A and B are shown apart, each in its own frame.
Chain A
Amino acid sequence: MNWIDIGALDDVPLRGARVVKTRVGCVALFRTAETEIFATSNTCAHKGGPLSEGIVHGRHVTCPLHNWVWSLETGEAQGADEGRIATYPVRVEDGRILIDGARLASRSAA
């Protein structure tokens, strides 16, 4: 684990998202509750839609292009759709968002 501070919690709107550029591609940060953040790939596994632009509800996001709904926790497609998006370890400490840099680097090496 290599926790990298990537910004303040309040920089991500509640029930909204922001993007982090990484070597494995854009990672989306979702703020599902006051102090709850999830990180997944920003790319919808269906047709590549930008998930950070979707509507965040509960611990889900709906892709803005074709309304595929993804679990932010497991990365699994919901309902009748099938598929998976990458999820990344992230945590919140003292109002800061920390993401696991080791995980992002190791994936790029693979």
Chain B
Amino acid sequence: MERLVVIGAGMASGRLLEHLFEADPGAYRVTLFNAEPRGNYNRIMLSPVLSGEKSYDEIVTHDEDWYAGHAVTCRFGERVIGIDRDRKVVVGEKGEVPYDKLVFATGSDAFIVPCPGHDLDGVIAYRDLDDTNRMIDTAPGSRAIVIGGGLLGLEAAAGLRMRGLDVTVLHLAGHLMERQLDPAAGYLLRADLERRGITVMTQASTRCIKGEGRVEAVELEDGTLLPADLVVMAVGIRPAVALAKQAGLTVRKAIEVDAQMRTSDPSVFAVGECIEFAGQLFGLVAPLYEQAKVLAATLLDDDAAFTPKQLSTKLKVTGCDLFSAGDFAEGPGREDIVFRDPARGIYKRLVVEGDTLVGAVMYGDTSDGNWFFGLIRDGTDITDMRETLIFGPAYQGGAAADPLAAVAALPADAEICGCNGVCKGQITEAIEGGATDLGAVRATTKASASCGTCTGLVEQVLAVTLGDSFQLPVAQPVCGCTDLTHEDLRRLIKARELKSQPAVWQELGWTSPNGCHVCRPAVNFYLLADWPLEYQDDPQSRFVNERKHANIQKDGTFSVVPRMWGGITSAAELRAIADAADKYGVPTVKVTGGQRIDLLGVKGEDLPAMWADLNAAGLVSGHAYSKGLRTVKTCVGTDHCRFGTQDSTGLGVRLEKRLWGSWTPHKVKLAVSGCPRNCAEATCKDVGIVCVDSGFEIGVGGAAGMDVKEVQPLVKVATEDEAVEWTVAFVQLYREHARYLDRPYKWLAKVSLEWVQQTLGDGAERKALVDRFDLSQTIYQTDPWAELAVREKARAFAPIADLTLEAAE
């Protein structure tokens, strides 16, 4: 009988021994080492143990009787400290064991983020029963922080939550389980977890763990401090290869084996998570079992070879139904078939390439997962079933869903027009009374006669009520990714409280995975305007000018425009601008129509350094590139002019200081003239104020671009404070209601000046608008130059690498 020593009692080695004893019980005398003080158990069932659905005894796969029955010498709780391959002995803590054949089944170790404080008491991994018990022993009501939003981390979070702990998950990437799920499915998973009371923070990078001896809090890179009693690290696993390395076996990312599971030493084998085969590592249980079978055959001198198979993952984060298989990245040559049912929280996405299915991601309803996986694995030609593929194997045909059904199903007292408080019943009555088109409904009920965002709904009520005799006008959708208009999109973002891009894609049924260059900037603006605190601005959804905070020119260089408040500057500022122009070789220096100075022809990589220089002189970004507040042009007013009636310069500076940094649907330009001679040309600005003896005349909706528009009179007020209040409230109303890329005059043409006057005329509403604007400014009124000129951000402006020298060698 040969002597076989197995190091590690995990799932792979348990299965190996079963196969071995079954095929030839008398072939080997086995010694089994395990660092844990227990034998083989089903590690993937630790989650139910944590949540309390199972006990440890229920997940034991091999008990004492089994080991005794097969004469296995168990050395549990004993570490192997070395291997002498020349003498063929394994050196354990309690003595040596000679072998003829040796199997490494050392599995993997949890990766611990080496941040300061990772060794504090109360910081644990989630790998074995001891870790699990540690979590179970933490008192309900304690605060647990799970670092890592992958499968393991989420299992830990779900289990801890079921034990009554207050759980927060920190995840580095933008969405949960980013390796297995696309952003839409990640969003649904997050929503599910949040419904269960788990807090999820994405793009959360841990800086350090704080505490005196034991953990007290986790500090994030952005400075956020999260109090904690328990920290679970679940950021990933690393093959446990220290022992194999020390024994001199070939180890790359893991212990290298051939298809027979043999390592670089013909008497030594390896199986499970600790191996590398053809450059691949293995973490799921199916290939591990396959390897165990192959190794058992090899040990008995039978022919067998391991071939990795394509894998599907049906993921079970207790109660969340997820499935992913194949390759689900999209692209041309590849087509997506997407099915979203927002009401039931279902998302299915199939990726088709040519005549075959290559990938699938599903959330909420994964019952057809295995069928899709079969199609992927077998490369089945799906041409004939393509039309109905997404509905799965059971699909037997049926009528197409009626898009108007939802409107038809609304009760009569459902509110359609929020501005004027008109419900569906009133509109139906009006239609029956002879108002058979949109104009007539507006005239009779006032529905959609104000802000206009419910126009689509009113038209649908007309269509439902009148049937075929009403032709639904074809509204212009935002882009090819959706059928929704901008108005519908804005209304739905507010009404359904959609606060992230994946939420919009999923809940509103976007047909592309992450939008396009047309819809993404619009959606980004709507989200940041409606949810300034909850939504995080996405630079990658902005046009280059707003991402680089400079205007791109036709030759790829940029222009730099510092802000000059109300057009006022100083000798020191002018000197700093001149110095910057010299230092960075600026070819053109031009005075703009907005009363400031434009430095044109700056190289992209020089921007951060130039900004830092200008910042040092007290200058900030002029946002000359943004859909946001541009300039407030002024004349010199009472300061110097003999005709000046008010301090127009002072008011201009005050307005610019209040409004700068805010994002708006399109650019916004202001001007303040000190008298009706209007030297600041206030009557062709988005907001233009003309000072008169008795106060301030505020006009809105002017423009001097492709269209030339004179302002319409909004209101006349007596004091400067009122002028500021009305201006701020107007800008906020525009931010909340206008469609992306509509200047105020275009928006006013849709909603009417009267509605704006009426809304702003209500003192309480005006104040609420100002409050909302100021709240948004607490987030967005920052100088982008100062933010981006810091070293780590500035690096992004330079090439990631320069290969011109390397290639020359």
Contact = CB atoms under 8 A, between A and B. Distances in A.
Interface stretch (B136-144, B449-457, B512-520, B734-742): B512-520
Nearest to B519: A57
Interface string B493-522: 000000000000000000011111100110
Interface stretch (B62-70, B268-276, B586-594, B793-801): B793-801
B517 A54 contact: yes
Given A34-B179, A53-B544, A20 B331 contact: no
B543 interface: yes
Contact of B520 (A12, A20, A29, A55): A55
Contacts of A32: 329, 331
A49 B553 CA distance: 9
B331 A22 contact: no
B312 interface: no
Interface residues of A, number: 52
Given A20-B800, A23-B803, A62 B331 contact: no
Contacts of A64: 543-544, 552
Interface centre among A4, A6, A15, A105 (most CB of B within 10 A): A15
A103 to B, nearest CB: 10
Interface string B508-547: 0000111111001100000000000000000111111001
Interface string A54-88: 11111110101101010111101010000000000
B545 to A, nearest CB: 8
Contacts of A97: 800
Nearest to A71: B332
A71 B806 CA distance: 28
B755 to A, nearest CB: 34
B52 interface: no
B515 A57 contact: yes
B291 to A, nearest CB: 23
Given A14-B540, A53-B544, A21 B803 contact: yes
B802 A21 contact: yes
A10 B253 CA distance: 21
Interface in B685-742: none
Given A15-B540, A59-B329, A59-B331, A7 B800 contact: yes
B808 interface: yes
A50 interface: yes
B681 to A, nearest CB: 30
A74 B333 CA distance: 9
B799 A4 contact: no
B210 to A, nearest CB: 25
Contacts of B164: none
Contact of B556 (A12, A18, A48, A94): A48
Interface centre among A6, A53, A60 (most CB of B within 10 A): A53
B349 to A, nearest CB: 12
A74 B539 CA distance: 26
B178 interface: yes
Contacts of A92: none
Interface string B251-274: 001000000000000000000000
B554 A65 contact: yes
A58 B148 CA distance: 26
A19 B800 contact: yes
Interface in B754-809: 795-796, 799-804, 806-808
A57 B516 contact: yes
Nearest to B605: A19
Contacts of B544: 53-54, 64
A45 interface: no
Interface string B628-642: 000000000000000
B806 A101 contact: yes
B540 A55 contact: yes
A60 B333 CA distance: 12
Contacts of B604: 50
Given A64-B543, A64-B552, A74-B332, A58 B512 contact: yes
Interface string B149-191: 0000000000000000000000001100011001000000000
A4 B331 contact: no
Interface centre among B253, B333, B801 (most CB of A within 10 A): B801
Contacts of A36: 329
B799 A76 contact: no
Given A36-B329, A55-B543, A108 B554 contact: no
Contact of A108 (B547, B801, B807): B807
Nearest to A13: B540
11 contacts: A13-B540, A15-B541, A22-B804, A47-B554, A50-B552, A58-B330, A58-B516, A64-B544, A69-B517, A74-B332, A97-B800
The 7 lowest CB-CB distance pairs between A and B, nearest first, are A59-B331, A62-B517, A6-B801, A53-B544, A18-B800, A55-B517, A15-B540
Interface of B: 173-174, 178-179, 182, 253, 329-333, 512-517, 520-521, 539-544, 547-548, 552, 554-556, 604, 795-796, 799-804, 806-808
Interface of A: 4, 6-7, 11-16, 18-23, 26, 29, 32-36, 47-50, 53-60, 62, 64-65, 67, 69, 71-74, 76, 78, 94, 97, 99, 101, 104-105, 108
Given A54-B544, A99-B803, 6 more contacts: A19-B800, A23-B808, A32-B329, A49-B556, A55-B541, A60-B332
